[in-house]
Structure 1
Amino acid sequence: MNRLLCTLLLSLLALNASAQSLNATVDRTRLNAGESVELTVESQDTTLFGKPDLQPLYELFEVLGTRQVNRLSNGGTDAQASTRWIITLQPKHSGYVVIPPLSLAQLQSAPITLHVQQDTSAADSRLAPVFIDASLDQESVYVQAQTVLTLRIYHSVSLYDDSSLTPLEMPQARVEILGEPRTYEKDINGVRHGVIELRYAIFPQESGELLIPAQAFTATAVDRSASNTYNPFGPRSGKVVRVKSPEIPLKVKARPASYPAAAPWLPARALSLSEAWSPEPEDTQVGDSLTRSLLLKAEGLASAQLPPLPATQVSGLRRYPDQPQLTNQVNDSGLVGSREEREALVANREGVIALPAVEVLWWNTQTDQLERSNLPARKLQVTANPNVETQPVEAERPAVSEAANGQLWPWQLSTGLLSLTTLLGFILWWRARRQPAVLPSQQTGPSPRNLLDDLKRTCLANDSQATRHALDAWARQQPETLADMAARFTPLSDALDGLNGALYSESGQHWQGRNLWLAIRSLPAIEDLDSNTNPDTSTLPPLYPR
């Protein structure tokens, strides 16, 4: 109880601290000299008034503008209010520049580091009012590897909102748009320009020379001449501007000859492989369900390029896989693809179960060499479960020498005598079974017909849990075990596997019980059993009688 109270107290303190924090974020951390960046400072403490102290910013930045935004969001049952201050900054120096912490009452934000790159473009005093620039982050890449195309549209005049850009179409490559367009300002030769920045991730599919095509930008520039009057109902007065980006050649290298031919080709900047268990595999018993999640994440690859991970095919474990989850994230370096595969593992025997190691080969495009990411092999210690019937472990039969075979005749004789007595007892039981009983016993429990009706109802209702209970109750009144019935009738074995998969995986709600009922209905009778002696255990009536 004391530990629970401490945990609740720490959680409340953490929530209170997060609610009273002063969060600071920027729209990007890498920019060129002369460009502006937007700093967003947010507070969820409604008792604070005023605005953050901007004095620490003046030494390293020019503050171009500030604005305040009040927001009210509905988080669950309680409405949450927050205040944002959006500050437009322009660094005064290039290199690594740190946005210092900002203070508001007793709250303080965390510092943020910016990388301001020196602008290497040649200065031109005769720049057009609207021009476009395109650049690649690298001039040579491997086939199916990522290169990032950055497109910047500069305009020193105001533009109407009818601007358009031709799509980037490349049949020899796969193109992914990296996030939404960014807008900021840049000072060029003393003239302030608005900048529209777009980024694309390009994955060439063929080696050789690849030409990045030009893109055309069309917009209407606002006419600010004195003779022009604004008419909201008339046509827009202005000049239509159309500019094109330059074509950029890209060298695409073929797959290295040293890369293993059987392994999937994965050229990435970085790649990681991790696993997670729910619950943790310690103290696992027979019949327990463990969920294993394998996560493959690659920087510089799309999620569709990541291959399936090896399945956990181990004796002693039943595997019920889920659909893989593919996600893509965008960062400053481009695309980060991830593939998560989840599977439910159910142990059907006790003892030590060894899981093999998982290894993924990939090509490091930063160091230009082969890399291996792997998960080490591990062992699961499975203990017995008194509520679950375990599967016996098959052991190797020791070799018996010819001399030992000569000493086995006493055992063979005793085994023969035991077989004869067992056969004699069976014959006596069979004869006694055919004799009428002196007093008929009154049935105290449900009849086999009622149990069969309950099983039919739960199967056709697609209720996996209720079907399992009804199936166990019906099987207890049968002359053989459920495992024996499944062993001699393949459709019943397949239907039971489907039921177990529904019970131990997240897809249980989609289970269809019709196949199980048809398998029970079509179950053939046991050989050498007189079907006329016991009408309750005889062949079932047809499912759809005419």
Structure 2
Amino acid sequence: MRWLLLLCLLLSPCIVMATSVQATLDRNDVHLGETVTLNLRIDGTMNANTPDLSALDHDFEVLGASTNSSLNIVNGQQTAELIIGVALRPKHTGDLQIPPLTVAGSQTQALSLHVGQPDASASTNAGKNVFVEVSTSSNHAYVGQQLLYTVRLFFDVNLNSGSLADPHADGTDLRKLGNDTDYQTVRNGRHYQVIERRYALTPQRAGTLTIPSIEFQGEAVDPGNPNDPGGFFNPGGLFGNSTPVTADSPEVNLDVQAPPADWSKTAWLPARSLTLSLEGLPSDDKITAGQPLNLRMRVEAQGLPGDALPELSLPAIDGATIYPDQPNTTTRDDGEWLTGRRERSFAIFPQHAGALTIPEITLTWFDVQNGQKRVATIPAHTFTVVAASGTPAVASSAPQPVAAPAPLAASSVAPSTSVVPASNATSSTPWRWIALGSIALWLISMVAFGWFYRSKRSRASHATTSHSESGDSARALRQAFLDAVHSNDRPAQPRRLLAWARVERPGLRNLGQVAEALASEEQRAAIEQLQREQYAGVNAEQRINVAAAFAKGFVWRQENTSEVDSPLPPLYPFKLD
């Protein structure tokens, strides 16, 4: 019993492994008489029975089924997959439905297949062993609009070798899409093997466009050998007599139209669909002054390659500096249509607190499916820019006024001591009090002057010491910044330059404010270069010698002021009327 339980535990991963089923068709558009393959992909198992296909009997002839299984083990995790391929031949034209099928306990989704009339060129190629057909998704297009160009090679002989040339045409761009597909079809009662190849065809100029025929060259092998009727020495006809075979496709003519006459001066973008997006916007609409807001803009269009899409840029933003990154362009295809994508990142540096708005961004394109002009839009977005945390407000860095020394107030009330009673006005007592008051006032003045003199010397000494310490700190930070420049430590350069500047101007919070406070154009350009190097490249021809720009220190703007640059207020302040 114990061994049986252990065996159940070992097999349980396979038993409980979740299975999922997906149904796909190798083609969604066929002609009557052609075959199509229904692929049933089952994930999570390697063993499943072919489902009941009786629901297909009304619209299809089931020609047969095959299975292909695989098992992968990665880091101890097992993944199993089973594909059941069912060959179907439609019985009539129209939009046929493949209903949901029950496979491995799960149901597939319903599928649709368009079956058209037998190919009109079938009678032309009747009786041929090998022939080539070509077709386009439309006989007319706009300049720059992608069409689907399909090449099919039909053969009912054993081919020993062969080559099928790629199409070429002046004034067009032709790109191969996906991999070749092969299937079977029936033409005029004959069974043919078909190899299908697809291309993205994009006209580059208006007018009538002719795509020349393409040629197939190969060798057909006759498997029959009268000297070896059993095929012992010639299995599969590998050594039979070979006969050269060739086949040419017909020419294709297209009507290519120029863009509409009323089209604007913006780029001409004929696409099946187009989207424009901006990623990285903060959810709370708040950003910090002096810190980058990193955004990524993307445009994606079906029916256009990536190199046909316009360059991405942000409009000028008041109160911010924009540093764009290098663009990234890609093109992919799904076997029918090209899908181009262009992306670009931007670092936005807000310079000060307040409101910051990214204006509305639009891109005009032409919808080739509906023949209409459309506009893709990124709405305007407004952020609240807050001051960097941990930094003092600008107003707090101004020197605070020092209160006037107390003794100065005594002289303003001294006259009140001269009031005496009227009854003693004729005696000598008032003069005595006046003399005593004068002496007392003189003593008080001397004490106040001594206190003020000592306070002034103490403050001057403290200011001298602070200035000396500040100078030592500035020299150390200046040397640290120059060391970072000489060692090419780019991440450290902006931080050390800001630390050096804040020793001299404590109210500065970021390099943007440092640049605004400088009077030297060279130093402002050097700061811009330091910021740009953090998020974008700088051409060698435009590079500034940052060390030389700050070798003699900062060149600050001179502020207009009538006050004396002194740590103390005037001794006897007064106001002019």
Return the TM-score normalized by structure 2. 0.69
Matching residue within 496, 500, 504 for 1:474: 500
| Residue 517 of structure 1: how far off its partner (Å) | 5.1
Check if 1:382 corresponds to 2:380: no
Check if 1:349 corresponds to 2:352: yes
Whether the aligned pair in 2 keeps the contact of 1:353 and 1:380 (CA below 8 Å) is yes
Q: Distance in 1 between matches of 2:44 and 2:66?
A: 18
Other-structure match for 2:364: 361
| Residue 150 of structure 1: how far off its partner (Å) | 1.3
Q: Distance in 2 between matches of 1:316 and 1:78?
A: 54
Q: Distance in 2 between matches of 1:62 and 1:390?
A: 82
| Residue 186 of structure 1: how far off its partner (Å) | 1.0
Other-structure match for 1:7: none
CA gap 1:467/1:218 in 2 versus in 1, 3 angstroms: same
Whether the aligned pair in 1 keeps the contact of 2:178 and 2:334 (CA below 8 Å) is no
Q: Which moved more, 1:192-201 or 1:465-474?
A: 465-474
CA gap 1:341/1:476 in 2 versus in 1, 3 angstroms: closer
Whether the aligned pair in 1 keeps the contact of 2:126 and 2:187 (CA below 8 Å) is no
Q: Distance in 1 between matches of 2:470 and 2:122?
A: 100
Other-structure match for 2:149: 149
Whether the aligned pair in 1 keeps the contact of 2:207 and 2:255 (CA below 8 Å) is yes
Q: Distance in 2 between matches of 1:49 and 1:466?
A: 61
Whether the aligned pair in 2 keeps the contact of 1:281 and 1:290 (CA below 8 Å) is no
SS of the residue 1:159 aligns to = strand
Check if 1:49 corresponds to 2:47: yes
| Residue 343 of structure 1: how far off its partner (Å) | 1.9
CA gap 1:93/1:171 in 2 versus in 1, 3 angstroms: same
| Residue 212 of structure 1: how far off its partner (Å) | 0.5
Q: Which amino acid aligns with 2:260?
A: P
SS of the residue 1:304 aligns to = helix
CA gap 1:458/1:72 in 2 versus in 1, 3 angstroms: farther
Q: Distance in 1 between matches of 2:334 and 2:211?
A: 22
Check if 1:62 corresponds to 2:61: yes
CA displacement, residues 317-339 of structure 1 (integer Å, 9 cap, x when unaligned) = 33222232323233465323232
Other-structure match for 2:437: none
| Residue 99 of structure 1: how far off its partner (Å) | 2.5
C-alpha RMSD over aligned residues: 4.1
Check if 1:241 corresponds to 2:245: yes
Other-structure match for 1:538: none
CA gap 1:84/1:367 in 2 versus in 1, 3 angstroms: closer
Other-structure match for 1:204: 203
Q: Which amino acid aligns with 1:518?
A: A
Q: Which moved more, 1:89-98 or 1:489-498?
A: 489-498
CA displacement, residues 461-499 of structure 1 (integer Å, 9 cap, x when unaligned) = 554444444334433445786655773344443343344
Whether the aligned pair in 1 keeps the contact of 2:285 and 2:382 (CA below 8 Å) is no
CA gap 1:18/1:353 in 2 versus in 1, 3 angstroms: farther
CA gap 1:497/1:388 in 2 versus in 1, 3 angstroms: farther
Whether the aligned pair in 2 keeps the contact of 1:328 and 1:337 (CA below 8 Å) is yes
CA displacement, residues 277-316 of structure 1 (integer Å, 9 cap, x when unaligned) = 3543623333454333333232322221111234232112
CA gap 1:83/1:386 in 2 versus in 1, 3 angstroms: same
Other-structure match for 1:533: none
Other-structure match for 1:500: 531
Whether the aligned pair in 2 keeps the contact of 1:142 and 1:207 (CA below 8 Å) is yes
CA gap 1:528/1:284 in 2 versus in 1, 3 angstroms: closer
Whether the aligned pair in 1 keeps the contact of 2:321 and 2:348 (CA below 8 Å) is yes
Q: Distance in 2 between matches of 1:256 and 1:144?
A: 13
| Residue 215 of structure 1: how far off its partner (Å) | 0.6
| Residue 153 of structure 1: how far off its partner (Å) | 0.8
Whether the aligned pair in 1 keeps the contact of 2:175 and 2:201 (CA below 8 Å) is yes
Whether the aligned pair in 2 keeps the contact of 1:273 and 1:375 (CA below 8 Å) is yes
Q: Distance in 2 between matches of 1:77 and 1:446?
A: 63
Other-structure match for 2:288: 285
The within-5 A match list for 1:29-108 is: 29-46=28-45, 49-56=47-54, 58-59=56-57, 60-73=59-72, 78=77, 80-108=79-107
SS of the residue 2:179 aligns to = coil
Q: Which amino acid aligns with 1:250?
A: L
Whether the aligned pair in 2 keeps the contact of 1:349 and 1:391 (CA below 8 Å) is no
Whether the aligned pair in 2 keeps the contact of 1:352 and 1:380 (CA below 8 Å) is yes
Q: Distance in 1 between matches of 2:151 and 2:321?
A: 52
Q: Distance in 1 between matches of 2:50 and 2:393?
A: 66
Q: Distance in 2 between matches of 1:112 and 1:517?
A: 66
Other-structure match for 2:481: 455
Higher helix share: 2
| Residue 172 of structure 1: how far off its partner (Å) | 1.5
Q: Which amino acid aligns with 1:93?
A: H
Q: Distance in 2 between matches of 1:462 and 1:235?
A: 71
In the alignment, structure 1 segments of 5+ residues that lack a partner are 1-16, 393-427, 530-546
Other-structure match for 1:398: none
CA displacement, residues 427-470 of structure 1 (integer Å, 9 cap, x when unaligned) = x99x968x997x99997998656545543454455544444443
Whether the aligned pair in 2 keeps the contact of 1:94 and 1:116 (CA below 8 Å) is yes
Q: Distance in 1 between matches of 2:238 and 2:336?
A: 45
Whether the aligned pair in 2 keeps the contact of 1:52 and 1:103 (CA below 8 Å) is no
Matching residue within 324, 340, 343 for 1:340: 343
Q: Distance in 2 between matches of 1:391 and 1:315?
A: 21
Q: Distance in 2 between matches of 1:331 and 1:440?
A: 71
Whether the aligned pair in 1 keeps the contact of 2:298 and 2:341 (CA below 8 Å) is yes
CA displacement, residues 232-265 of structure 1 (integer Å, 9 cap, x when unaligned) = 99977422211111111222222321112x2212
Q: Which amino acid aligns with 2:497?
A: L
CA displacement, residues 161-197 of structure 1 (integer Å, 9 cap, x when unaligned) = x321223222311112222222111122232211111
Q: Distance in 2 between matches of 1:479 and 1:275?
A: 38
Whether the aligned pair in 1 keeps the contact of 2:222 and 2:240 (CA below 8 Å) is no
| Residue 376 of structure 1: how far off its partner (Å) | 2.8
| Residue 364 of structure 1: how far off its partner (Å) | 2.9
Q: Which amino acid aligns with 1:365?
A: V
The within-5 A match list for 1:49-448 is: 49-56=47-54, 58-59=56-57, 60-73=59-72, 78=77, 80-121=79-120, 123-124=122-123, 126-160=126-160, 162-227=161-226, 229-230=233-234, 237-260=241-264, 262-280=265-283, 282-331=285-334, 334-387=337-390
CA gap 1:127/1:276 in 2 versus in 1, 3 angstroms: farther
SS of the residue 1:500 aligns to = helix
CA gap 1:309/1:441 in 2 versus in 1, 3 angstroms: closer
| Residue 201 of structure 1: how far off its partner (Å) | 1.8
SS of the residue 2:120 aligns to = coil
Whether the aligned pair in 1 keeps the contact of 2:152 and 2:196 (CA below 8 Å) is yes
SS of the residue 2:44 aligns to = coil
CA gap 1:245/1:523 in 2 versus in 1, 3 angstroms: farther
Q: Which amino acid aligns with 1:62?
A: E
In the alignment, structure 2 segments of 5+ residues that lack a partner are 1-15, 396-455, 559-577
Matched residues, number: 468
SS of the residue 1:68 aligns to = strand
Q: Distance in 1 between matches of 2:129 and 2:302?
A: 38
